[in-house]
Amino acid sequence: MKNLCTVSDINYLIKGLTLYESLLKNTSSFKLNYLCIDDECYNKIIPFQNESLKIYNVNDFINFDKKLEKLKNDDYKYFCWALASYFMNYLMTQLNEPISYIDSDIYFYHSFNEVLNEIKTEEIILFRHRQFNLDINRPEGKFNVGVIHFNNTFFGKKALSWWSDSVLNKTYPHLATCGDQKYLDELLNICPEETILIDGNIGHGAPWHWQLYDLSSFHEDGYIKWDNKKQKLIFTHFSQFTIINDGNYIPSTMHHIYTPINEYHNNKNLKLIYDNYFKELNKTKQKYYG
């Protein structure tokens, strides 16, 4: 059983359920632990709880942990960011099993096993911001929080516990430059190099990556080409994807410094990726909202 988790409020619930549907299509024997940030989200999704979808209400954590309550009252946006590591650490402690986190606006085209199969002796999986070299210090950090995995091992538990505690307590202000994300840079100093797998051979899409990729064969074989390497596109992070209405959408509202908005319309394979995601969102809406 693969223990996965995600977090969302009611505004991202359709995306979170679409993530769940993509996992159902491709991944066997998993449980998606879903943390709802507001009661509206919880009340909407709780009727669909089953063996592969476990629902949690953030209020149960706030009532138990006064630090979390204070963080919510002081800085709500940062509080939402902090929930990824907090929830992961809670699940690791409770289940005593490996834990993977996935942002709710991610969609999988293939089994999550393809991510886990990249592990050899490593204990942690991180996915980099490919638009920057790893030796460049950027406020958004070297890695994206979109997909992260920690094994239930010494360094896996140590790294996850450190991340959760540091974000919750804002222990290192110089790392709080992009929510919880830049904290991940420090894991390279906390854990031995051989315990961290970065990317592996996993193709992953995002608005900040498309300009790096050759998508010319994607329509035929589902592969991208990056840095002279052909990779199967396993998942895409649809960051800032905005639905205007049932018939239209904005592919990304805040990342055009990387991929110009016209590229989403002029590149037929990129448009295919986003049109298909929009179709899947509408299917999810019909299934769960009627």
Q: How many domains does the chain have?
A: 2
Which token pair is 18?
């679409």
Q: Are residues 164 and 209 in the same domain?
A: no
Instruction: Give the torsion through C-alpha atoms of 15, 239, 118, 228, to 10 deg.
Output: 140
Strand 203-205 and strand 229-237: pairing? parallel
Q: Which pLDDT does position 145 carry in this prediction?
A: 96
Q: Are residues 187 and 215 in the same domain?
A: no
Angle at 82 between CA 205 and CA 80, to 5 degrees: 80
Q: Are residues 160 and 216 in the same domain?
A: no
Q: Are residues 132 and 230 in the same domain?
A: no
Instruction: Give the torsion through C-alpha atoms of 59, 96, 32, 244, to 10 deg.
Output: 60
Q: Which pLDDT does position 256 carry in this prediction?
A: 86
Percent of the chain clearing pLDDT 70 (strictly above): 100
Question: Which residues, other chains included, contact 215 with Cβ-Cβ below 8 Å and sequence gap of 6+?
Answer: 224, 267, 269, 270, 273
Question: Which residues, other chains included, contact 60 with Cβ-Cβ below 8 Å and sequence gap of 6+?
Answer: none
204-231 burial code (b ≥16 CB/10 A, e <16): bbbbbbbebbebeebeeeebbbbeeeeb
Q: Are residues 127 and 248 in the same domain?
A: no
Of residues 140, 121, 115, the one with CA closest to residue 2: 115
Q: Are residues 169 and 223 in the same domain?
A: no
Which of 147, 169, 198 is the C-terminal boundary of a domain?
198
Alpha helix segments (H runs only) across the chain: 13-26, 39-45, 58-62, 66-74, 76-95, 113-116, 154-169, 187-190, 218-221, 263-266, 268-289
Q: What is the mean pLDDT of residues 227-252?
A: 92
Phi, psi values for residue 104, rounded to 5°: -70, -20
Are the C-beta atoms of 80 and 57 separated by less than 8 Å?
Answer: no
pTM of the full structure: 0.96
Range from 110-114, 238-242, 251-255, 266-270 carrying the lowest mean pLDDT: 251-255
Q: Which pLDDT does position 10 carry in this prediction?
A: 97
Q: Are residues 159 and 266 in the same domain?
A: no
Q: Is 96 left (phi over 0), alpha (psi -120 to 50) or beta?
A: left
Which of 151, 171, 198 is the C-terminal boundary of a domain?
198
Q: Are residues 221 and 276 in the same domain?
A: yes
Q: Residue 49's domain is classified under what CATH number? A: 3.90.550.10
Q: What is the mean pLDDT of residues 3-10?
A: 98
Q: Which pLDDT does position 176 carry in this prediction?
A: 87
Provide the residue range defining the domain that includes 245.
Answer: 204-289
Q: Are residues 115 and 34 in the same domain?
A: yes
Which of 198, 227, 247 is the C-terminal boundary of a domain?
198
Range from 29-38, 119-128, 211-220, 254-263 carrying the lowest mean pLDDT: 254-263
Q: Are residues 56 and 172 in the same domain?
A: yes
Q: Which pLDDT does position 236 carry in this prediction?
A: 98
Q: Are residues 219 and 191 in the same domain?
A: no
Q: Are residues 161 and 19 in the same domain?
A: yes
Task: Give pLDDT tens digits for 164-198.
Answer: 999 999 889 899 888 899 999 999 999 999 999 99
Task: Give pLDDT tens digits for 47-85.
Answer: 999 999 999 999 999 998 999 999 999 999 999 999 999
Q: Which pLDDT does position 245 carry in this prediction?
A: 77
Of residues 148, 183, 187, 144, the one with CA closest to residue 167: 183
Which token pair is 193?
């190099």
Mean pLDDT of the chain: 95
User: 23 by DSSP, 3-state: which?
Assistant: helix
User: 4 by DSSP, 3-state: which?
Assistant: strand
Phi, psi values for residue 166, rounded to 5°: -65, -40
